[in-house]
Structure 1
Amino acid sequence: MAFVDTEVSDWVVETFAITQWVDVGQLEARETLPSFHYEPPIAEDIDAKLPWEPSRDASRYHVGVTARDGGARHPGRRIASAKSWLSHDGVDRSADFLPWHGDADVTRLSPVDVSARYLLHLRSAWDHAHPDDPLNRQDVVITLPASFDEVARELTIQAAKQAGLRRVYLIEEPQAAFYAWIDRHRDDWTDRVSSGQLILVCDIGGGTTDLTLIRVKPAGDESDQIQFHRVAVGRHLILGGDNLDLAIAKLAESKLADSGLVNSLSSNQWDRLIGASRSVKETMLAESRPDAYTINLPGEGSSLLAGAVQTELTADDVDAVLLQGFFPDVDLSARPTQSQSGFQEFGLPYASDPGVTRHLAEFLSQHRRTGLEASDDQSADRPDLVLFNGGVMVSPRVRDRIVASMQRWFARDGESWRPDVLSSPRLDLAVAQGAAYYAMVRRGQGIRIAANLGRSYYMQVSDEDPSSGKPATAICLIPGSAEPGQRFRDDRHPLELQTGAPAQFPLWVSSTRLADNVGDLVDIDRLQMSALPPICTALVRGRRRDELQMNVVIESELSEIGTVGMFCVDVDSGKRWKLDFDIRSTLETDRAAHDGVGESAGIVDTETIGQCANAISATFGDSAETKPNRIVDQLQKLTETNRNGWPPSLLREFWQFLMDDEPGRRKSPQHESRWINLVGFCLRPGYGVAVDDWRVATTWRLLHGRLAFAAAQSRTESLILWRRIAGGLTAGQQQQLAAPLLASLQGKSGKLDTHESVEIWRLLGSLERLPVVDKIRLGDIAIEALPRKKNESLRPALLWSIGRLGSRQPVYGPLNTTVPADKVQSWIASLMTVQIAEPLLPLTIAQLGRMTGDRYRDVPETLRSDAAEFLESSDSSAHLVQLLRDGGSFSRDEEAAVFGDSLPLGIRLVRG
């Protein structure tokens, strides 16, 4: 954290020492606050009250040094890499899922909440030291990776607001690092750079790799002044020091296995090995290093010392893994591979290719001529200067490897050229110092880097046509030349929207197509453009079949604080709707963003759809001519298709018609039960089609706690509905459903004898976003109830629920809410000893024991082998046995059994 006292005329950038706990009873002010969050176990927590806290109870967590060190002892209670999670477009970044694979009793937080807690600590430390000048009355510049997407930028602002910071601006870390260099050379920077030069900022921190190019140009007036222009930013890469730690840990684990000391490390040993590997990296990449480094790992259980193991890594071993693995000698023509990353332990989408030099070669090949004018010296297409930043770049070996690569790529024949390295004495402070300098640049003082957006934004307006080979097309909404404060509007291509239904706009971004102008129609090239989370809105003004049409245009703006805003504007009235990024379309790490599979499964002609709408209206509308028990037969006859063959697009049309006639469910208990049944069937599984989250939210608002009749059939159908669409419910909604049901099941037998108990258990098993402690409680109750004779009719539902609650690979839920393997071990053991003959038992055991390759989720190999033999002895499916022994994916039929219902066409549930 750096600052400038603006009341001093000859101002300088100063570093603020941040007060924090560094050990038991030891409070210090240090220049950096390590970005770790730690919730100690009750037995370890002491009265470590910070000076600004009224009591220790005010916050039972630590950030900073004690969080880093305490988390090494209890990895399941520590959160790291929050910034990487904040930029992970495969999760709901506002959801509470950290720490990843955390202990069952630790509080879960979102990446936004964790980031807010770091900022709150900084604010509190500052306010304590400067009570007359609190931070919420200052201009605050927050740094972030240059490759942060727009959602991550918005969420950074949200975290700052949660921390009570009011006047916030954003700056990209590579720019800030360069501003710090300018500040250090206020008196002589003009002697060190000259017009025509190209500067590469290579920023590799703990979690991300950021590449930025800055071109030096004449000021454009008659003076001899020069200006800095940021002309290119690399794509988002979750690749950094964390990956190096993982690589060393995997090397050490393989050496231990080769020596016969261990077959496979437990998750606790693996966590400790990661911490040790971080020390190996820092030691062995230093300028002076030993010939070898010995790693010692304690054993587990009652004989910790006897079970301890150790292995030795030589300097050559480390060089082979880190330098050759992450910084290989490659040609300028080399390109990153696109295969899946081997690093999956922490749930983050690490870059598929760890070769930083391959990513650098691709970046420089694409952008080294960006920003060159026709009149410029065309030979100025290589980086003359390099500025290194980030923790990884502290290593002289890594810096030398990158400089040597650039020399080999760009030195011309007979030339001894190599890029000059701009010095940076404190890589850990440079970004903060540069941000403080930038705050003064905003006030008209200092040297400004002319930084346009550097990315062009597009909205897709047509789909690809495989039959003709015509690619999808998009409209350019924001050009790469955009600067903060500018607003753009495309009037040439108005869009026609139908009110009464949600609308979704697929978005694309490119850091290479920087010459496109607003309104240009371009072909979507996936090599040059990347998909963003879509933006969506719901222009609901009346019933769907009113078919109100509206002509709209899209307005876009780049705010002064560095975020993108988009609006849908009615051409006639001028009314504007804010378009929000559909973050929930990318809910889980193991499920990609919405890809249109549901829509592509089949389209039904409009005439048939109209006839079906009339049939639904005849059942639930004002006239209600048809009895509710006949509506499904009518729809099957009109579509000439069994209801299990209705494509998702048609199902969602039916859902909308049912919503239009929602008041009709109140005509009778029979109307309500049939209406609820159809709504759940048409909306299952709660995701898979564009803006399903909006549909699920609408259904929740209309139905939760709002049954028109107290009839048992309505209650039962509502349980079935929530089970069918559980994948679209938020964690909070799932807990609202579960709380009263869980309370009713407490005790020896609970209410297992009620006629609704089958659907109660099936609903509870489907709620994969429940806290782990609730899942464990439910699973234990079900295991205990299973062998009782009076529950014989309930056994299929109990088994189904146990399988879903303890599955190693959730159907839709986040992996961090997976029940711990040690608990599932006891469930599997119980299932193999209980004397019941149930067809569902083999599938349940396969769900609990299926091998995933993730050491945090897999049960021990010996138990999987025992379970496989148990299934073989009962003549179970060979495929289920294979899932236990070798892993893999469920078949389509097995998926349907796991889901507990037929699956809509084109929608897959369980990923391998």
Structure 2
Amino acid sequence: MIEKYCIGIDLGTTNSVVAYTTAKDAGEDGSQPVRRDDAPEVHLLPIPQIVGPGQVESLTSLPSFLYLPRENEVDSLRIDPATLPHGECPTSFPDPSEGVVGAYARQQSADNPQRVVVAAKSWLCHAKIGRTDAVLPWQSPSDVPKVSAFECTRRYLQHLIAAWHAAFPDAPIDQQQVVLTVPASFDPAARDLTRQAAIEAGLSDQFVLLEEPQAAVYRYLASTGGSWRESMKPGDTLLVVDVGGGTTDLTLVGVGEDDGDFVLRRHAVGNHLLVGGDNMDLALAYQASEKFREQGHDLDPWQSTSLWHACREAKERLMSDDGPEEHSISVLGRGSSLIGGTITIEMSKTQAAETLVEGFFPMCGAGERPQMNVQSGFQDIGLPYESDPAITKQVASFLADHLSGGEGSDQGDRGTTVTHLLLNGGVFRADSIRSRMESTVGSWFDNSPTLLSGAADLDHSVAIGAAFYGWAKVAGGIRIRGGTAKSYYIGIETAGLAIPGAPRPLRAVCVAAQGMEEGSEADVPGEEVGVVVGTPARFRFFSSTTRPGDQPGVRLDRWSPDDLQESEPIELTLEDEGSESGEESSGLPSRPFVPVRFQSRVTELGMFELWCHGSQSDRRWKLEFNARS
């Protein structure tokens, strides 16, 4: 198979973008050699989408919203394929009774919030709610159809893939080099669900998952044409702060040297932080609701949700450098005298900046930590947002844990300071936010980090960086090394006498070290462990971003919640020998415990698998983070 294109897909919480470049630019066809620092020309894919009843436009991004229309709206939303910008592409627009994706859905989020699914990406990594259960839109009326976060993800990808086939009918996407981005802090279950949704949407199972902060770094590298080597030296450390619509991702990348050549290594990623642009919209909505209350309007839950979506547009307009000094925010009236009308308040640019800059990017010292007792203003959205939305404090805590000398840090080749800072995400288009983040981080070090620039459009940088990464894989260009972002552990129940009212002690055993490379495997040394077969059992897994020194086989008898974070348990029945051979068995198996040794494997997709090999036979079982099972 000859790949024709390298495609990067940014499946964002708020917007999704597709970028691409031709693989032949990487010298794949042998036509001409490619220099190491060459960069290809990357293009954005136009994405046809419904913008109004009977109206279609091609935009460079697909808003990640799904609108579930009423029955009397369905006919007005049907699209004649012959009218589409790229010709006949009916798969881009399934029957609207199943939902409408994109710009029109985003528009309806303010007018009909109870019928619009938002932040599906955040729900996909929310272990407390069934990721494949049809529960969205969250807390919507019973007459509104429901879908799952997984289904939303599949539909978004399906639309993007259909847009690709409309533009390039002779280049099936399952035969291209595709790179799909995910948050660095996504847990294995969320990564696996993203992978499954992509395959069901039409990608081959050979696509690559890339962490979003790394994609932002690749975007920077592509923009410099190789000159980044002149501004960095071995021993430098790059801090990436990626603030998206739903999450904040933090990553440290070190500059090293290997046989006289520069190499980049991803040293650490932060925990999953559910704070981003959505929280900022909520903060503005809370401020706006106070203004409505001063006018005598107490908003009901429906109006509050509508206000949240209306404040998204207000944020984008007011925080842009050339934005207006004031912006009107309106919601539909609900009282008998206001049916069919609206109520409106004005919000100033100064008020919005003060709320967002001081609330999310306050000046703080390097030793400050997020407060755990701060309460969020809106509690009925259902997602576990961070109790303290101060992103600057989250960054300070991350650096304290991961820089050399910090608690839980690795003293290896990590520096003791940050030398370069890369900011990514649409919120950093605002000069006031960008300047505050830069000055705050700079105040923590003797020499302020150099702010890296190069991404002209922060809304598209992740997709462009992903396409460049795909190109680099073909051309042999610079790539960030790092492997797994976390160390992985299994929980093993210890043997001993039972004590009434007390669970048996649990110890954690490291089965995969942080930095384990994709496509590699490792045996886990240590004593044999008994695995329950033939009967339902719960398997507990843990991970850590703050213990990079732990190697497979390391045992922990005690740990704090800051050391290890428990993932969603896997509950399943491992087949015993009888059931595997087709024999009927009744009751408990004759030997419920099988002694095994462990082997860890990281797939080319970056998925973690734990294999249990029978010590007394050639039988083996695979445990993987598959939340659908």
Report the TM-score range of the alignment, normalised by the length of the smaller protein.
0.7 to 0.9
Separation in structure 2 between the aligned mates of residue 463 and residue 209 of structure 1, nearest angstrom: 37
Deviation at 1:39, TM superposition (A): 2.1
Matched, 1:436 2:475: no
Deviation at 1:544, TM superposition (A): 1.6
Separation in structure 2 between the aligned mates of residue 569 and residue 546 of structure 1, nearest angstrom: 19
Matched, 1:242 2:278: yes
Deviation at 1:42, TM superposition (A): 2.4
Aligned to 1:551: 595
Aligned to 2:427: 392
- Spell out, residue by residue over 1:212-268, the C-alpha distance to the aligned partner (whole angstroms, 9 max, x if none): 1111111x21x3x211111010100111011011111111112322x2512x31233
Matched, 1:495 2:529: yes
Separation in structure 2 between the aligned mates of residue 528 and residue 427 of structure 1, nearest angstrom: 33
Aligned to 1:534: 569
Matched, 1:17 2:34: no
- Spell out, residue by residue over 1:253-286, the C-alpha distance to the aligned partner (whole angstroms, 9 max, x if none): 12322x2512x31233223211221122223322
Is contact 1:203–1:393 with CA below 8 Å preserved after alignment?
Answer: no
Alignment equivalent of 2:355, drawn from 321, 328, 331: 321
Is contact 1:457–1:479 with CA below 8 Å preserved after alignment?
Answer: yes
- Spell out, residue by residue over 1:711-738, the C-alpha distance to the aligned partner (whole angstroms, 9 max, x if none): xxxxxxxxxxxxxxxxxxxxxxxxxxxx
1:188–1:301 Cα change, 3 Å: same
Alignment equivalent of 2:516, drawn from 466, 469, 482: 482
Separation in structure 1 between the aligned mates of residue 245 and residue 135 of structure 2, nearest angstrom: 21
Alignment equivalent of 2:416, drawn from 352, 373, 381: 381
Matched, 1:360 2:395: yes
Q: Percent identity?
A: 35
Is contact 1:198–1:382 with CA below 8 Å preserved after alignment?
Answer: yes
Aligned to 2:84: none
Separation in structure 2 between the aligned mates of residue 115 and residue 147 of structure 1, nearest angstrom: 18
Aligned to 1:92: 130
- Answer with 196-205 or 453-462: which moved more: 453-462
Is contact 1:38–1:78 with CA below 8 Å preserved after alignment?
Answer: yes
Is contact 2:403–2:416 with CA below 8 Å preserved after alignment?
Answer: yes
Aligned to 2:68: 39
Deviation at 1:57, TM superposition (A): 6.5
1:374–1:111 Cα change, 3 Å: closer
Deviation at 1:570, TM superposition (A): 1.3
Matched, 1:132 2:170: yes
Separation in structure 1 between the aligned mates of residue 145 and residue 343 of structure 2, nearest angstrom: 32
Aligned to 2:253: 214
Is contact 2:331–2:342 with CA below 8 Å preserved after alignment?
Answer: yes
Alignment equivalent of 2:456, drawn from 425, 450, 457: 425
- Spell out, residue by residue over 1:844-891, the C-alpha distance to the aligned partner (whole angstroms, 9 max, x if none): xxxxxxxxxxxxxxxxxxxxxxxxxxxxxxxxxxxxxxxxxxxxxxxx
Alignment equivalent of 1:575, drawn from 583, 599, 619: 619
- 2:530 counterpart letter in structure 1: E
Aligned to 1:229: 265
Q: Considering only CA atoms, is the larger Rg found in Structure 1 or Structure 2?
A: 1
1:55–1:569 Cα change, 3 Å: closer
Is contact 2:91–2:162 with CA below 8 Å preserved after alignment?
Answer: no
- 2:392 counterpart letter in structure 1: T
Aligned to 1:809: none
Deviation at 1:501, TM superposition (A): 2.4
- Counting only pairs closer than 5 Å after superposition, residues 414-813 of structure 1 correspond to structure 2 as 417-462=448-493, 472-522=506-556, 523-539=558-574, 540=576, 541=578, 542=585, 543-544=587-588, 546-581=590-625, 583=627
Alignment equivalent of 1:5, drawn from 2, 22, 45: 22
Separation in structure 2 between the aligned mates of residue 511 and residue 373 of structure 1, nearest angstrom: 11
Aligned to 2:181: 143
**TM-score, L = length of structure 1:** 0.59
1:5–1:144 Cα change, 3 Å: same
Separation in structure 1 between the aligned mates of residue 342 and residue 55 of structure 2, nearest angstrom: 31
Count of aligned pairs: 574
SS at match of 2:23: coil
1:307–1:67 Cα change, 3 Å: closer
More strand by share: 2
Aligned to 2:224: 185
- Counting only pairs closer than 5 Å after superposition, residues 43-82 of structure 1 correspond to structure 2 as 43-45=72-74, 46=76, 47-50=78-81, 51-53=88-90, 58-60=95-97, 61-82=99-120
- 2:367 counterpart letter in structure 1: S
More helix by share: 1
1:85–1:464 Cα change, 3 Å: farther
SS at match of 1:312: strand
- 1:352 counterpart letter in structure 2: S
Is contact 2:192–2:626 with CA below 8 Å preserved after alignment?
Answer: no
Aligned to 2:3: none
Deviation at 1:436, TM superposition (A): 1.0
Separation in structure 2 between the aligned mates of residue 119 and residue 29 of structure 1, nearest angstrom: 16
Structure number with higher relative contact order (C-alpha < 8 Å, ≥ 6 residues apart): 2
Separation in structure 1 between the aligned mates of residue 115 and residue 101 of structure 2, nearest angstrom: 12
SS at match of 1:424: coil
Give 5+ residue unaligned stretches, structure 2.
1-17, 28-33, 35-39, 82-87, 579-584
1:381–1:497 Cα change, 3 Å: closer
Is contact 2:570–2:625 with CA below 8 Å preserved after alignment?
Answer: yes
Give 5+ residue unaligned stretches, structure 1.
585-693, 695-912
1:54–1:339 Cα change, 3 Å: closer
- 1:455 counterpart letter in structure 2: K
- 2:404 counterpart letter in structure 1: R
Aligned to 2:210: 171
Aligned to 1:252: 288
Separation in structure 1 between the aligned mates of residue 440 and residue 169 of structure 2, nearest angstrom: 51
Is contact 1:49–1:55 with CA below 8 Å preserved after alignment?
Answer: no
Is contact 2:369–2:396 with CA below 8 Å preserved after alignment?
Answer: yes
1:322–1:76 Cα change, 3 Å: same
Deviation at 1:491, TM superposition (A): 4.2
